[in-house]
Structure 1
Amino acid sequence: MYAVIFKAKINKLDKVYSEMAKRMRELAINKYGCTEFISVTEGTQEMAISYWKNQEQIKQWKENSEHLVAQKLGRSTWYKSYNVQVVEVIREYSNNT
């Protein structure tokens, strides 16, 4: 399993951002096989973590034409800066009682 960790410093978020974020989550899960997608915004920081079965799914999602538009808007409007990490999940455990 892999995770994509997206961290950003927010410039300004608007209605287009909210709609685009919802659409990106739907695409990731429904078209590209993302198993979970979580995002949190606090103050001027945003973090999103998505989980994937393999790197090919991540690559296909990253290259999706709608996602490319979202990336461009992120760079030009919504974010001051951002960082993306693709990591392999080595171990997972939980206490689901």
Structure 2
Amino acid sequence: MDWKIFVKQVSYQLGIKKNVNIYLSELVTTPMTIGFLKPIILVPLASINHLSAEQIEAVLLHELAHIKRLDYLFNLFLSVTETILFFNPFTQLR
């Protein structure tokens, strides 16, 4: 299956207006989403060989949900807040 077409179709169904790219990477160990203006899904190259098509679809759906919920932007906001308030012990609670 062409995963780029799958991501494009599901992005449309989820109402994601941005173009989402998907890349295989040897540098990551778990699937992840990066970027806000140009979201990218990074999938570990090793996982493609060990997962079934249904499992890869589930991983991509999970990452698209992060994009839909703007999790990257929220995590960026948290990181900036923690950096500014580094002296406050309550910022270390999670």
Q: Same fold (TM over 0.5)?
A: no
- Which is bigger in relative contact order (C-alpha 8 A, separation at least 6)? 1
Which one has the bigger helix percentage? 2
Larger Rg: 2
Q: Structure 1 length normalisation: TM-score?
A: 0.29
